[in-house]
Amino acid sequence: MEIKAKRTLVKSTPELWELADDPARMEAWSESLVESRSPLEIVVTEREPGRRLAWRASSGCESAEIAVALAEKGFGTAVEITARPTGADIAASDELERLLDELGSPERRPFSTD
């Protein structure tokens, strides 16, 4: 079963790419889709910098394929997240919406003086 969520976020494509292309974040996002107590194995299956990132997360017999697509749109970036989890249910679509919320939230960066 394929689940999709999309939204236009008021962030630049490079900023969103930096957030998505982070192995720790990929693992954290995948944990919500792969219901397993074992550590996840993350394998990047496609990387087109600034446009598309796809990976497979697996643990035992549970797995998910996740893809994030980015495209500049007006004053922001159109973001589409697609997931194919094994044993998908309605809650998985809620998780994708939560991931979009996380991507769209302001990042807190330490104050610096140059």
Per-residue model confidence as pLDDT tens digits over 21-36: 998 888 888 887 777 6
- pTM to 2 decimal places: 0.82
Domains of the chain: 3-104 (3.30.530.20)
Burial of 30 (0-12, 13-18, 19+ CB in 10 A): buried
Mean pLDDT of the chain: 84
